[in-house]
Amino acid sequence: MSQNRTAEIARKIEDRQARIGIVGMGYVGLPLALLFSHARFRVTGFDIDPRKVEALNRGDSYIARIPANGIQLALANGFNATTDYSEIAAIDVVIICVPTPLNEHHEPDLSFVTGTVATIAPQVHDGQLIILESTTYPGTTEEIVVPLLENGNRGGLRVARDSSSPGIYVAFSPEREDPGNETIDRREIPKVVGGCGAAACDLACAVYGAIFNRTVPVSSPAVAEMTKLLENIYRCVNIALVNELKQLCMRMGIDLIEVIEAAKTKPFGFQAFYPGPGLGGHCIPIDPFYLSWKAKEFDFHTRFIELAGQINNDMPYFVVENVSEALNKEGKAMLGARVLVLGLAYKRDIDDLRESPSLTIIEILQRRGADVAYNDPFFPKVGRGRKYALNMTSTSLEQIPDFDCVVIVTDHSQYDYRSIVSKAKLVVDTRNATHGINADNIVRC
């Protein structure tokens, strides 16, 4: 390529001639692929799961919030999905959206990232832009992704640090998905971008600028990686604060929700966060541990962040203790009690089980000897996952009178809470879903 190689690539992006490849057709990658397709890019989705690939190529959706007609429109615009990673060679921009979970020791598990990069490295070519979106600790892009790309490609290419050098362009841009949020259009969410050099950052901003209304360039991938962690640690810490205050307010006989509603009338200096049964999703329960793990490399102990994580991790146990106490007051022991958990998803109105506190609550209840069932409109059946082995079928709400206790863990809007309360012997509400309903059989925790 010429000295103006980045300008040539940018023109290709502007003219919608650049081919986009999204690796990982999950909750982050699939919506991103559809955005690019809607913007008239030719998009290829890559995934190791042949069932997802087959569903997408049929025009079917496996994510509740993504309608099938959106996928069918993308197919008409040239979108396709594949398990064949050799097709990376024909792609101009590769965006990696794969999971970054924690292992059983609460340490970062980057195997999906390293496996993906090692797989695509032999296919990368001069002038190709590789962007990592997976949430991770600061340094991952430069310390792990770059060496894997440089050591694994067939042409001996290096990562290009300026516009004139041949090589691969690499950047990091954290995903900012908020499943279930229907109030903010995805295009309105600013896209933070940090490149390995100014040229990579400029190209990544050009790519994202085609589908997002605003890009936010920062000085390095590490800054972009830390930005994502700060956003979610901020939420984790504040949720831990209200979760701790909830426990105190219950002992003091004070309604914390009423306190929060009063406090948020202040027009400055306060943002409302609400208590719950624990944290779920891919980001908030995980991100603090990513930073805590990395901080140890610098002989730094993130005490404040780890304390918040501990408080939030303990909330499912707090819920179970309240269920046990509520049953005792009704003259019923936990051992042998029939308990119905309402909601498996980690938040309302989505079909996502990742890190859901419901899974932990069910597990604890079962260990305590309860006979546990669940209901969730998004999960008619649940088998085995990374952190659960339920092998259960959703129970009809018509059976509510047969249970000793109903525990509201996920406050789906489909539920008729007045009807649930009227049918149930005992309701333990962890989400304030029954606010405004006055009944003696409700315990709010």
At 225-246, the pLDDT tens digits run 999 999 999 999 999 999 999 9
Stated pTM of the model: 0.92
Strand order in the sheet with 405-408: 371-375, 338-342, 405-408, 427-429, 442-444
Structural domain span for residue 102: 5-219
Q: Is the pLDDT of residue 316 over 50?
A: yes
Give the per-residue pLDDT at 2: 43
Identify whether 245 is part of a domain: yes
The CATH number of whichever domain residue 189 belongs to comes to 3.40.50.720
Contact in structure between 408 and 437 (CB atoms under 8 Å) = no
81-135 confidence digits (pLDDT tens) = 999 999 999 999 999 999 998 887 778 899 999 999 999 999 999 999 999 999 9
The residue-averaged pLDDT of 302-306 equals 92
Tens of pLDDT, residues 328-374: 999 999 999 999 999 999 999 999 998 899 999 999 999 999 999 99
177 shares its domain with 255: no
3-state secondary structure the chain: CCCCHHHHHHHHHHCCCCEEEEECCCCCHHHHHHHHHHCCCEEEEECCCHHHHHHHHHCCCCCCCCCHHHHHHHHHCCCEEECCHHHHHHCCEEEECCCCCECCCCCECCHHHHHHHHHHHHHCCCCCEEEECCCCCCCHHHHHHHHHHHHHCCCCCCECCCCCCCCEEEEECCCCCCCCCCCCCHHHCCEEEEECCHHHHHHHHHHHHCCCCCEEEECCHHHHHHHHHHHHHHHHHHHHHHHHHHHHHHHHCCCHHHHHHHHCCCCCCCCCCCCCCCCCCCCCCCHHHHHHHHHHHHCCCCHHHHHHHHHHHHHHHHHHHHHHHHHHHCCCCCCCCEEEEECCCCCCCCCCCCCCHHHHHHHHHHHCCCEEEEECCCCCEEEECCCCEEEEECCCHHHHHHCCEEEECCCCCCCCHHHHHHHCCCEEECCCCCCCCCCCCEEEC
- Cα(222)–Cα(168) distance, integer angstroms: 18
Q: Are residues 211 and 145 part of one domain? A: yes
Instruction: Check whether residue 17 and residue 159 sit in a common domain.
Output: yes
> Is the same domain home to 47 and 120?
yes
Confidence of residue 6 (pLDDT cuts 50, 70, 90): confident
Between CA 279 and CA 346 the distance in angstroms is 7
On whether both 277 and 354 belong to a single domain, the answer is yes
**Structural domain tally of the chain?**
2
On whether residue 231 sits in a domain, the answer given is: no
206 plus 302 within the same structural domain:
no
pLDDT at 265 over 90: yes
Domain presence at residue 134: yes
Domain boundary among 219, 252, 272: 219
Q: Which two tokens stand for residue 59?
A: 């025009």
- Which of the four pLDDT bands, split at 50, 70 and 90, describes residue 1? very low
CA distance 20 to 427: 50
Instruction: Say whether 283 is catalytic.
Output: yes
Same domain for 58 and 198? yes
- Residues 197 and 308 both lie in one domain: no
Query: Does any domain span residue 270?
Result: yes
Q: Which of 97, 205, 283, 445 is catalytic?
A: 283
* Contact between 428 and 319 (Cβ < 8 Å): yes
Give the pLDDT score at 194: 98
Do β-strands 169-172 and 191-195 pair in parallel, antiparallel, or remain unpaired? antiparallel
- Domain presence at residue 228: no
Whether residue 259 is found in the same domain as residue 395: yes
The residue-averaged pLDDT of 66-89 equals: 97
Is the pLDDT confidence value at 386 over 80? no
Q: What is the pLDDT of residue 413?
A: 95
pLDDT value of residue 103? 83
pLDDT surpasses 80 at 285:
no
Q: Are residues 251 and 205 in the same domain?
A: no
Q: Could you tell me the pLDDT band of residue 190, with boundaries at 50, 70 and 90?
A: very high
Mark which of 171, 187, 219 sits at the end of a domain.
219
On whether the CB atoms of residues 119 and 85 are closer than 8 A, the answer is: yes
What does the mean pLDDT of the chain come to? 94
Residue 439 in any domain: the answer is yes
Residues 215 and 261 in one domain: no
User: Which stretch, 104-108, 287-291, 380-384, 393-397, has highest mean pLDDT?
Assistant: 393-397
The whole-number average pLDDT for the span 36-47 is: 97
Domain-ending residue, one of 219, 247, 272 = 219
368 found inside a domain: yes
Verify that 51 and 174 share a domain, yes or no: yes
Query: In this structure, is residue 227 part of a structural domain?
Result: no
